[in-house]
Amino acid sequence: MLNNIQKKSLKERFLLVLGILFFLIYLVLGLMIMFWEKLPLDMEPKYRYAFGGLLIVYSGIRFLRLINSNTD
């Protein structure tokens, strides 16, 4: 995997780092919405968990797409 990353151009490596960054942003945002009680969102708990879970699932999809594009 490390050898595959070293073969990439500068643009491809930048996009890989950007993809990892946004994966982490969506994951942390989903966890914050679900578990941080003092977050200023006026939502019922069931909607907070649903929205946070949706963000976590989306981050997982982005991660899988990133891994699949990295193997090319």
pLDDT, tens digit, 9 for 90 and up, residues 3-61: 665 677 778 888 888 989 999 999 999 999 998 888 788 888 899 999 999 999 999 99
pTM more than 0.75: yes
- Backbone phi and psi for residue 59, each to the nearest 5 degrees, phi listed first: -65, -35
Give the pair of three-digit tokens for residue 23.
Answer: 């994966």
pLDDT of 62 > 60? The answer is: yes
Asked whether the CA dihedral 25, 26, 31, 37 is positive or negative, the reply is positive
What pLDDT is recorded for position 5?
Answer: 59
8 Å CB contact between 69 and 4: no
Percentage helix, strand, coil, to 5, in the chain?
80, 0, 20
What pLDDT is recorded for position 50?
Answer: 94
What pLDDT is recorded for position 1?
Answer: 53
What pLDDT is recorded for position 43?
Answer: 85
Say which amino acid occupies 64. L
